[in-house]
């Protein structure tokens, strides 16, 4: 597997400049491409401001700023930049025709072994494989805003993507400190389907006059959202109990008659099999005997740490 020394990022906007920053901070040389110098100059200002703020926050030392900035080259010449790239990441606007045109060009201008990744948040990765030479090197890597901070990167192969390309993408993400997680190519992938489902229900609650946007945000931040940085939805379900979840779904569906609250066949099966979570040592995860008490202590440790941060943030918000 060839070492990746130079990454080409296509698109210097909201996502692109942050992508360039995180690679450069982690010692990888970057070529950042966009259609004009104004966009590139703006990206350079954003990256410089971000790095200086990282110094202010104590995330990096001041003497790391200039070497990081020197690793990013800015250019409008996609063809020339593509010729020397070891890995390409497309991050232009969510315009399918534009993205497909870029991939057609990259397929012609890059060396045939170079992995070509897209940061699309919605399009089927097979759309790009269909128009690109050597489609086995096409892969989706869905980052989350702001990409220089948020750990997750969804790794989404197309039906043509080779195992080597998958491994290249995963290894590179780990090298720069990200948390790559593989999923299948489907509308919205995983994170956006869950995120959009939550947003849809929040919007419905406000439309129904149950509360205000501000109150919804406060409730989410201080309840289940408070826990979500420590545990995912299946871990939380195991802690609460699948039987408890199923009872709540049955009640909500009976009262609201909305399909999103119809009890899940998967959840029903868990209950029928007695896989209720921590209290039965088996749920969506399996647990060793005595794990419940150990996990309770670990849970409290994680959540108290987040509670301290939350209280500090509240103090800061009151001053603004």
Max distance between CA atoms of the chain, in angstroms, equals 62
Half-sphere exposure (Cβ direction) of 184: Cα atoms closer than 13 Å = 2
For every residue of 150-189, DSSP letters joined together read --EEEEEE-TT--HHHHHHHHHHHHHTT-EEEE----TTT
Domains 6-182 and 223-319 fall in the same CATH topology? no
Q: Give the pair of three-digit tokens for residue 89.
A: 């990441």
3-class DSSP assignment, residue 87: strand
Specify the DSSP element, H or E, that contains 96: helix 96-109
How many other C-beta atoms can be found within 10 angstroms of the C-beta atom of residue 214?
9
Contacts of 278 (CB under 8 A, 6+ apart): 238, 239, 241, 287, 291, 292, 295
> pLDDT exceeding 90 applies to what percent of the chain?
92
The CATH architecture of the domain made up of 6-182 is 3-Layer(aba) Sandwich (3.40)
Tell me which fold the domain 223-319 belongs to: 1.10.1040
- The CA distance from 157 to 279, in Å, is 37
pLDDT in tens, 131-157: 999 999 999 999 999 999 999 999 999
Instruction: Write out pLDDT tens, residues 37-71.
Output: 999 999 999 999 999 999 999 999 999 999 999 99
Residues 94-125 as b or e (16 or more Cβ within 10 Å = b): eeeeebbebbeebbebbeeebbbbbbbbebbb
Pairing between β-strand 152-157 and β-strand 138-142 as defined by DSSP bridges: antiparallel
> How far apart, in whole angstroms, are the C-alpha atoms of residue 271 and residue 318?
45
> Does position 305 have pLDDT exceeding 70, yes or no?
yes
pLDDT tens column, 187-226: 889 999 999 999 999 999 999 999 999 999 999 999 999 9
Cβ burial, residue 92 (10 Å; 0-12/13-18/19+) = buried
At 280 the pLDDT is 94
Peptide bond into 288 cis (omega under 30): no
* pLDDT band per the 50, 70, 90 thresholds, residue 1: low
> How does residue 182 score in pLDDT terms, banded at 50, 70 and 90?
very high
Query: Does the pLDDT at position 30 exceed 90?
Result: yes
pLDDT, one tens digit per residue, over 250-302 is: 999 999 999 999 999 999 999 999 999 999 999 999 999 888 888 889 999 99
Spans of all domains in the chain: 6-182, 223-319
Are the CB atoms for 80 and 36 separated by under 8 Å? no
Q: What confidence score (pLDDT) does residue 146 get?
A: 96
pTM: 0.91
Sequence-distant contacts of 285-290: CB under 8 A, at least 24 apart: 285/234, 285/235, 285/238, 287/238
């Amino acid at each position: 597997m060839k070492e990746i020394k130079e990454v080409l990022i296509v698109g210097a906007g909201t996502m692109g400049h942050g992508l360039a920053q995180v690679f450069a901070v982690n010692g990888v040389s970057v070529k950042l491409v966009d259609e004009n110098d104004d966009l590139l100059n703006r990206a350079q200002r954003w990256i410089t401001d971000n790095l200086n703020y990282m110094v202010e926050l104590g995330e990096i030392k001041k003497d790391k700023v200039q070497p990081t900035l020197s690793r990013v080259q800015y250019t409008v010449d996609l063809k020339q930049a593509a010729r020397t790239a070891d890995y390409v990441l497309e991050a232009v606007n969510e315009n399918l025709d534009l993205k497909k045109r870029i991939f057609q060009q990259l397929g012609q201008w890059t060396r045939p072994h170079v992995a070509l990744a897209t940061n699309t948040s919605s399009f089927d990765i097979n759309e790009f494989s269909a128009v690109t030479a050597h489609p086995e090197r096409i892969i989706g890597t869905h980052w989350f805003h702001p990409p220089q901070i948020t750990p997750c990167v969804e790794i989404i192969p197309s039906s043509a993507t080779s195992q080597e390309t998958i491994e290249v993408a995963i290894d590179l993400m780990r090298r720069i400190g990200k948390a790559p997680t593989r999923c299948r190519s489907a509308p919205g992938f995983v994170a956006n389907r869950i995120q959009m489902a939550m947003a849809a229900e929040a919007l419905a609650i406000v439309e129904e006059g149950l509360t205000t946007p501000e109150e919804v945000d406060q409730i989410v931040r201080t309840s289940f959202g408070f826990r979500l940085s420590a545990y995912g939805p299946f871990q939380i379900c195991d802690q609460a109990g699948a039987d408890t979840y199923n009872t709540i779904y049955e009640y909500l569906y009976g009262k609201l008659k909305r399909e999103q609250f119809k009890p899940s066949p998967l959840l029903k099966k868990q209950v029928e099999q007695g896989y209720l979570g921590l209290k039965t040592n088996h749920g969506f995860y399996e647990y060793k005997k005595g794990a419940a008490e150990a996990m309770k202590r670990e849970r409290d440790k994680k959540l108290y740490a987040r509670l301290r941060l939350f209280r500090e943030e509240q103090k800061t918000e009151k001053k603004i």
